[in-house]
Amino acid sequence: MDKPLNIADILEYAATFNTDSQIVTRQVEGGIHRYSYGDALRRTKKLANALRSLDVHQGDRIATLAWNTYRHFELYYAISGMGAIIHTINPRLFAEQIIYIVNHAEDKYLFVDLTFVPLLEAIKDHIAVVKGIVVMTDAAHMPRSQVLPNLICYEDLIAPESEDFAWPEFDERTAAGLCYTSGTTGNPKGVMYSHRSTLLHAISACRSSALNLGPMSRVLPVVPMFHVCAWGIPYSAPIAGAGIVFPGAGMDGASLYELIDGEKATSLLGVPTVWLGLLNYIDSIKGNLDSVEDVVIGGSAAPRSMMEKFQDVYGVFPIHAWGMTEMSPMGSVCARTPYLAQADKETRARIQAKQGRAVFGVEMRIVDDQDQPLPHDGKTFGKLMVRGPWIASGYYRNDDRSAFRGGWFDTGDVSTIDPAGYMQIVDRSKDVIKSGGEWISSIELENHAVGHPAVAEACVVGIPHPRWDERPLLIIVRKAGAQVSAGELQRFLTDKVAKWWLPDDVVFVDALPHTATGKLLKTEVRSKFANHYLTQS
């Protein structure tokens, strides 16, 4: 039967069949909120009716500036389910970027958490396209804003509405969600997801060979719902029957630990910096992660030391994953296999350092500068190209098609692929270091450097060198109170990489700059140290 895929069907299914699983939220206003998928569906239908009364129609963009909470979850389903498009905005972007995005997308309404009301007050004169702002809270917590006197209260908005709403039927290729990438140069670019792409991605992502979700899982997405839809968890958890634990605004080690321990979370998802904070906290209180089975690490390369800590100290299986906004985001996953289960420690570390094998639905290949395929021998570096039904075919309202070539999407990453299909990211193509015609992976050097006990964060950039074009420079943030010298770090790396990969120098800084999605802002680091080797020689 030619039944179109529709996001609203996910929640209808979960409300009927996932009656044992709960959605738990650490609320922005304080306290814990919990309800069932059935409750979520009833409130989502009230919200869909409320959107209709706000004159929201199919194709309208409705934006959110919000943490991971049950209200944000309701917006995911109500907006897309009624045929409009949920546009999740990253509040960590610069104000100018948020202004650009809201105007580019022509967002009709903005739903905002209490935390971000001041942010909107500051930019309100520049977002005239927005017809109204809804604050995601109840009457008791509504802010009184002089600058934004007409704020609408979420709970008041949905309270009078009916719990009956017939989801409209439309083509499964109808747009459902919109996310902007936060590149380091130029304006952010919009990626549009359809009902079809979102469902296919969610079904593939929850399988045991990917994120390993099922009815026994209580999944805690630390990855924000404003960053590629929290890696699709709001869609894949209800399909799998899993419960969800939303951390709200509490991303620090202590808040996360309290929630993981209190709610007995089984599956965690987030970027390495978040796990660093969590692991440091657990070490400091001699805590445990006894309820947790898997931790999905993605967004940046997972260092070996972090994976060993999870696996060998806390008994948690680290699932290294790779993807990007343009891919909904799931591309590859380093999941459990029989081979990995019986491998010795060194073999296991070597495999888990890789970003894994393509998930079902994604094809990957590496190519040279002429887009000619390169061998999958685990050694040859090439531009990583992908294709599949949840990968973007272009950017929203943008004519730049340079990354979309011959039916493939150029990810901008450089990688190797081994004969068993395991892909390993070498670098972003603009970050790879070109020294005397050979390539050096900044990511691999960083991963080794953070293995040193005195190192909190490491960044490696290639900077101009009079003899070799570029040479690596290692920039280190030391752990509080820890001491280590440049020479000591260089010696530490000697047996880990080829001699000519060794950074020529090491500098120490108090902090490193990051992008809005927590990645190292290497453009800034490179320009800061651009003359380092030129002035030395």
Q: How far apart are CA 356 and CA 367, in angstroms?
A: 18
Q: Which amino acid is residue 197, in one-letter code? A: S
Residues between 449 and 508 with contacts to ligand AMP, criterion CB under 6 A: none
User: Binding to ligand AMP by residue 324, rule CB under 6 A?
Assistant: yes
**Catalytic annotation on 347?**
no
Sequence length of the chain is 537
113 or 326: whose CB is closer to ligand AMP?
326
User: Binding to ligand AMP by residue 447, rule CB under 6 A?
Assistant: no
For residues 220 and 203, the answer to whether their CB atoms sit within 8 Å is no
- What pairing do the DSSP bridges indicate for beta strands 455-465 and 109-112? unpaired
Q: Output phi, psi for 150, to 5 deg.
A: -105, 30
9 or 524: whose CB is closer to ligand AMP?
524
User: Binding to ligand AMP by residue 435, rule CB under 6 A?
Assistant: no
User: Binding to ligand AMP by residue 355, rule CB under 6 A?
Assistant: yes
Residues 299, 318, 388, 462: which binds ligand AMP (CB under 6 A)?
299
Q: One of 326, 444, 446, 470 is an active-site residue; which one?
A: 326
Residues 97, 181, 184, 523: which binds ligand AMP (CB under 6 A)?
181
User: Binding to ligand AMP by residue 217, rule CB under 6 A?
Assistant: no
End-to-end CA distance of the chain: 71
Evaluate the CA torsion angle 200, 88, 23, 293 in order and state its sign: positive
Cβ atoms < 10 Å from Cβ of 266: 22
Q: One of 115, 124, 181, 523 is an active-site residue; which one?
A: 181
**Catalytic annotation on 106?**
no
Residues 428, 478, 479, 514: which binds ligand AMP (CB under 6 A)?
428
User: Binding to ligand AMP by residue 298, rule CB under 6 A?
Assistant: yes
Shortest distance (Å) from residue 93 CB to ligand AMP: 12
**Catalytic annotation on 363?**
no
For residues 521 and 515, the answer to whether their CB atoms sit within 8 Å is yes
Q: How far apart are CA 139 and CA 418, in angstroms?
A: 57
Helix (H) or strand (E) holding 494: helix 486-494
Cβ atoms < 10 Å from Cβ of 243: 27
Residues 194, 411, 416, 447: which binds ligand AMP (CB under 6 A)?
411
User: Binding to ligand AMP by residue 224, rule CB under 6 A?
Assistant: no
**Catalytic annotation on 354?**
no
Question: What six digits make up the tokens of 357?
Answer: 């094998």
At which residue do the structure tokens 């073999």 appear? Answer: 347
329 or 503: whose CB is closer to ligand AMP?
329
Residue numbers annotated as active site? 181, 326, 434, 439
Interface residues toward ligand AMP, by CB under 6 A = 181, 228, 298-301, 320-322, 324-325, 329, 355, 411-413, 425, 428, 517
